[in-house]
Amino acid sequence: MANLKLIPLGKSNLLLSPIGLGCWQFSGKSMSVFWNSPPQDEINAIVKVSLDGGISWFDTAEMYGNGASETALSVALQAAGKKNGEVFIATKWNPILRGASSIGRTFPMREKHLKPFEIDVFQVHLPYSFSSVEAQMNAMADLLDAKKIKMVGVSNFSEHKMRLAHKVLKSRGYDLASNQMRYSLLDRRIEKDGVMAAAKELNISIMAYSPLAQGLLGGKYHADSKAVDKVPMMRRRAFKGKIEKSRALVGVLVEIANSYNVTASQIALNWLVTFSGETVLAIPGATRIAQAKQNCMAMNFSLTTAEISKINETSKMFI
């Protein structure tokens, strides 16, 4: 039984596990520069372990293999015996080189890939489009009016654009549920640029992606410098210069982890979803069953106020 309580999504009455499963890594070969995508039977096992461990929601996207991740997730959920309505699914529209009219036009493909599961939160993946935020949110509101989706989210939106999206949806009688942002102990910029403050003010959930800094917070690469050589190219680039800079922080995570008999990654996840109250939910990925189990176990203990404060102080350089 998880120690961490369920968290409401935005202003809704919907309660989600504080940790979900990010499904970018289920994209197949198209994302091999980032991840070694597991085969479908392994994906089935990862999703089943996540469900059994208390994870109640999953985040995917059109951009993840042009629907490959969505399809893999649907197959895995069905293999686990889940039916529509028994899990919560978030996916995203790809805005690159498109206008808002393609939101409704391409939505049937999202339904096709995720069938028989309905889409709970539909998100604009990036703040880049041929159309305005107003046009995009009105297109999303049309889907809400048609009861095709239950909530609307955005991703990578600045404070200004998030506020604008919230305002447009409000004019249509809806709330903006979430803003999916890069957020971890090694990247706390949203605490400085206004996004976190605005999210708390407007009661918009932050869905934290890359909550483990693509694995860097686990300490593996600090303990074994040669382990970095086995990481796919784009992640190796992302790690450049960060291992030494984060060594003190990872040392604190390892120290606290040892006292709980857990891993540094689990401490980092637990901190992320507790430090800001009920504002932040995290979506770590998993390419192996063991990683999925670890993600779930990060919900099975509660850090003390002193431990939360110590981690905060040690990582303030990353705000």
Decide the pairing of beta strands 15-16 and 7-8: antiparallel
For 84, which DSSP code?
T
Decide the pairing of beta strands 57-59 and 88-93: parallel
Which residues, 6+ apart, have CB-to-CB distance to 2 below 8 Å? 17, 54, 299, 300
Burial class from Cβ neighbours inside 10 Å (0-12, 13-18, 19+) for residue 172 reads middle
107: amino acid identity, one letter: F
**Separation CA 103–CA 1 (nearest Å):** 39
Which residues carry out catalysis?
64
* Length of the chain in terms of residues written: 319
Take residue 196 and report the two structure tokens written for it.
């976190």
Going through 78-228 in order, the beta strands assigned E by DSSP cover 88-93, 119-124, 149-155, 176-182, 205-209
CB-side exposure of 225: number of CA atoms within 13 Å? Answer: 6
Burial class from Cβ neighbours inside 10 Å (0-12, 13-18, 19+) for residue 306 reads exposed
Residues in a beta bridge with 89: 58
Taking residue 188's Cβ as centre, other Cβ atoms within 10 Å add up to 18
| Percentages of the chain per state (helix, strand, coil), in multiples of 5 | 50, 15, 35
Going through 198-262 in order, the beta strands assigned E by DSSP cover 205-209
